[in-house]
Amino acid sequence: MELPDGYVIIVSRECETCRELVPAFRELAGNGIGVVFVSQDDAGFPDGVSGVVDDSDLELSWRLAVEVTPTAIRIEGGVPGRRIIGWRKSEWAEFFGVPGLAPDLPDHRPGCGSLTLLPGVPERLAVRYGGGPVLASRRIEFGAMEDEHEAMFARGWTDGLPVVPPTMERVYAMLGGTRRAADEVIGIIPPDYRECTVEKAAVNAVMAGCRPEYLPVVLAAVQALAAEPFNAHGVAATTWYSGPVVVVNGPIATRIGMNSEHNAFGPGNRANASIGRALNLIVRNVGGSRPGEVDRSTQGHPTKYTMAFAEREYDSPWTSLATERGVPQGGSAVTLFAGQGPTPISDQKSRGPDSLTHSLAAGLRTVRHSKAAGPVAALVAVAPEHARIFGAAGWDKERLRGEIIDLLSIPDTELVAGAGGMDEGLAAPATGAVVAKFKPENLWFVHVGGGAGGSSGIISGWVAGPKGSTMVTIPIEED
């Protein structure tokens, strides 16, 4: 609709303020100053005013970017100019040039939210009338009798579980979780080495069941996945078990409701489950890694579905994982680790750090194999009950790391092939030298879990270092 010069007032019968202002609307309509009323929900409102424009399809309100009813806009040369929202009598009198407007009405009333802002409506209007980001993704139309979930499974887009259909409306809503441009390339994802844009990440986040506020975490995880040290191609193609393990630190974890406490590795938390799942769908749908094809894992692991959790920072005796890895205190970050697990280590009896360290070291001895050493990585998920023991003794993560490395510095006579009746082992002849199972840069700790329970977990890694995968930490861009 082309608007004539003058004034437009957008109203809604549903709006309590608009209903109260009907006498003022009638006065303005009869004043001869050129006022057009546009009603979002009833062409007969305002009552007693003729020529009301029916905007029940909300197109005009959308194009005028109306957020509140009533909104009054001055039109000059067919172009919207100054506007006022809500009701303040003195402002309306000045705006319309009508001194003494509506003397019997109150001086001020707040407006109501425009119907264009109802849940799901902005995205629907953006698809219908434009104004949303330009999406480059190919559209797929399903037949009227086709089951969309079965169709997506048949096309290989899912991880075997049902996914949320990524309609344009849902993708628009997801993109609302970030200010980054939809066409910004976040990273190149192997093994197909395809560009993952913000849009592609949003599409897969929709499919995984994410909420828009999770998207910044997903984007940081994609950046970590694409980082060369992580070696996503190797993680995807190896016969080993590993998948991407996502650890989230900082205020964003609390804000989006991630679980760092009871059952942090288990079901029941939407953010944990869907963030990790979104990343794995990106590995599949953008990177092209599918089981039995590029993904050659001998047995696989549930981390290839999803594994994401937050570190329990508020009562940790230690520096957070992100801060330990260079992120400023109070910043939000994602750390990506190629792992599987966790393998639980139960110790209900230790009351001192030395005994508990021996328990953790005994469990860590078996990472990859009890004879494996050197390029071996692990992320130890220390439960609060265990962490309190270390904290009370004044042990920080560095002290604990050093003690475990010392305990797991093993004579090569125990590690060579044939020792202990096992053909597996180091190929070099034994010399009596001591070999450290872990290098300091490959052994990390994170505080996570419920407040009670003497069980910590070992998240075993794939091969560490240049021939395998290195942990990557990426700060999260928050709006």
Q: How far apart are CA 391 and CA 456, in angstroms?
A: 15
Residue 32 gets which letter from DSSP? T
CB atoms within 10 A of CB 247: 29
pLDDT at position 470: 97
Helix (H), strand (E), coil (C) string for 67-115: CEECEEEEEECCEEEEEEECEEHHHHHHHHCCCCCCCCCCCEECCEECH
Which pLDDT value is given to residue 22? 96
Range of the domain at 415: 148-475
Mean pLDDT value across residues 315-336? 96
42-68 residue pLDDT tens: 999 999 999 999 999 999 999 999 999
Which pair of tokens denotes residue 256? Answer: 């989006």
98, 116, 134 - which closes a domain = 116
Q: Average pLDDT of the chain?
A: 94
Please give the share of the chain, as a percent, with pLDDT higher than 90: 86
Question: What band does 1 get if pLDDT is binned at 50, 70 and 90?
Answer: low
Tell me the CA distances in angstroms from 99 to 24, 33, 116, one per residue in order: 12, 13, 32
CB 412 within 8 A of CB 431: yes
Do 93 and 212 reside in the same domain of the chain?
A: no
Q: What are phi and psi of 181, to 5 degrees?
A: -65, 145
pTM (2 decimals)?
A: 0.87
CA nearest to 224, candidates 158, 275, 269: 275
State the pLDDT at residue 241: 92
Residue 398, pLDDT above cutoff 70: yes
Are 110 and 175 part of one and the same domain?
A: no
Is pLDDT at 132 greater than 80 in this prediction? Answer: no
Asked if residue 99 and residue 154 are part of one domain, the reply reads no
Examine the domain organization and report whether 173 and 39 are in the same domain: no
Residue 368 has pLDDT above 70, yes or no: yes
pLDDT value at position 53?
95
Q: What is the token pair recorded at 117?
A: 């802002």
Q: What is the pLDDT of residues 260-295, one digit of tens each?
A: 999 999 999 999 999 999 999 999 999 999 988 899
pLDDT in tens, 465-476: 999 999 999 999
Cβ atoms of residues 336 and 472 within 8 Å: yes
Q: Tell me how far apart the alpha carbons of residues 269 and 283 are, in angstroms, rounded to a whole number.
A: 22
Domains of the chain: total = 2
Helix 270-285 × helix 198-208 angle, to 10°: 130
Altogether, the residues listed in the chain come to a count of 479
My answer on whether 207 and 337 are in the same domain is yes
- Are 246 and 362 in a shared domain? yes
Query: Are residue 188 and residue 39 in the same domain, yes or no?
Result: no
Q: Is 341 left (phi over 0), alpha (psi -120 to 50) or beta?
A: left
Give per-residue pLDDT as tens, 196-233: 999 999 999 999 999 999 999 999 999 999 999 999 99
What CATH number has the domain bearing residue 105?
Answer: 3.40.30.10
Q: Which range has the worst mean pLDDT, 110-119, 137-146, 174-183, 274-283?
A: 137-146
**Strand arrangement of the beta sheet that strand 35-39 belongs to:** 53-54, 35-39, 6-11, 71-76, 79-85
The angle subtended at Cα 314 by Cα 312 and Cα 317, nearest 5°, is 85
Residue 114 has pLDDT above 70, yes or no: yes
Q: Judge if 269 and 331 occupy the same domain.
A: yes
The SS3 assignment for 6 reads strand
Whether residue 104 is found in the same domain as residue 208: no
Whether the predicted pLDDT of 2 surpasses 80: no
Residue 254 host element (H or E): helix 251-255
Is 416 contained in some domain? yes
In this predicted structure, the answer to whether residue 334 has a pLDDT above a threshold of 90 is yes
* Predicted pLDDT of residue 478: 80
| 76-91 pLDDT tens trace | 988 999 999 999 999 9
- pLDDT of res. 432: 87
Amino acid residing at 318: W
What is the pLDDT, as a whole number, of residue 143? 83
Distance from CA of residue 203 to its chain's centroid?
12
- Rounded to 10 degrees, the C-alpha dihedral 441/387/402/446 comes to 0
For residue 105, is pLDDT > 90?
A: yes
- In a shared domain, residues 70 and 156: no
pLDDT at 390: 98
pLDDT of res. 321: 98
Looking at the domain assignment, is residue 94 inside a domain?
Answer: yes
Give me the pLDDT at residue 316, please.
Answer: 97
Residues 6+ apart with CB under 8 A from 283: 189, 225, 232, 236, 244, 289
> Which residues does 114 contact at the CB level (< 8 Å), separation at least 6?
10, 12, 40, 61, 66, 67, 68, 69, 71
Is 326 within 8 Å of 473 (Cβ atoms)? yes
**DSSP summary character for residue 151:** H
